[in-house]
Amino acid sequence: VPSRPSPESLLPVKPVELLVLSMLSAGDRHGYGIRQDIVDHTNGALALEAGNLYRTIRRLEHDGLIDETGRRPAADSDDERRRYYRLTPFGRRVLAAELERLRALVRLGEARRVIAPLTA
Partner 1 sequence: MTPHRPPPRPRGAVPPSTGERVYRALLRLYPSSFRRRYGDDMMAFYRDRARHAPRTVRARARLWLALAGDVAVNAAAERLAFLVERTRPVPAAGPVSTPREESMSVLIQDVRFALRGMLGRPVFSATILATLALGIGANAAIFIVVNAALLRPLPYSHVEQIVAFVHADPYSQVSEGEFVDYRRGLSAFAGLAAYSTPEATVGAGDESIRAGGARVSSDFFSVLGVVPELGRTFAPDEFLPRSASQVTVISHALWQQQFAGDPRVVGRTVTINGTPVTIIGVMPAGFDFPKVTTGFWTPWRFNPDSLWGRNNHYLRMVGRLAPTATIGAARAQAGTLDARWLKDFPETYGVGKPIVAAITPLGDYVLGASRPYLGALLGAVGFILLIACVNVASLLLVRGEARRKELAIRTALGASRHRVVRQMLTESLLFAIIGSALGIGLAWFGARALVALAPDGLPRLHDVGVDYRVVAFTTAITILTGLLFGLGPAVFGARNDSITALREGGRTSSRGASGVARRVLVVVEVALAVVLLTGAGLLVRSMVKLQAIDLGFSPARVMTMRLTVPPVGYNDTTTDLLFRDVLASVGRVPGVQSVALDGALPISGDDSDWSIMIDGRVIKNIGDSPSAKPEQVTPGYFSTMGIRLVRGRDFAESDRPGAPPVVVINQALANKLWPGVNPIGRTLKMFSDQAPWLTIVGVVGDIRARGFQGAIPETMYFPYAQSAASAYYMPRSMSLVARTALAPADVANAIRAAVHSVQPRMPISEIASMDDVVGQSIAARRFTTVLLVGFAGLALLLAGVGIYGVISYGVSQRTYEIGVRMALGASPGSVLALVMNEGIRMTAVGLVLGLAGAAVVTGFLRSLLVGVGAADAPTFIGVGVVLAAVAVCACAFPARRAIAVSPTEALRND
Q: Which residues bind partner 1 (CB under 8 A)?
A: 30-32, 35, 47, 49-55, 57-58, 68, 70-71, 77-83
Q: Which is nearer to partner 1, 68 or 102 (CB)?
A: 68
At its nearest, how many Å lie between partner 1 and the CB of residue 4? 18
Q: Which is nearer to partner 1, 38 or 57 (CB)?
A: 57
Q: Which is nearer to partner 1, 8 or 67 (CB)?
A: 67
Q: Which is nearer to partner 1, 58 or 103 (CB)?
A: 58
Q: Please count the CA atoms within 13 angstroms of the CA of 119 that sit on its side-chain side.
A: 1
Residue 95, C-beta contacts closer than 8 angstroms, at least 6 positions apart: 13, 18, 21, 22, 25, 65, 87
At its nearest, how many Å lie between partner 1 and the CB of residue 2? 12
What do you get for the CA distance between the two ends of the chain, in Å?
A: 46
At its nearest, how many Å lie between partner 1 and the CB of residue 79? 5
Residue 63, C-beta contacts closer than 8 angstroms, at least 6 positions apart: 10
At its nearest, how many Å lie between partner 1 and the CB of residue 34? 10
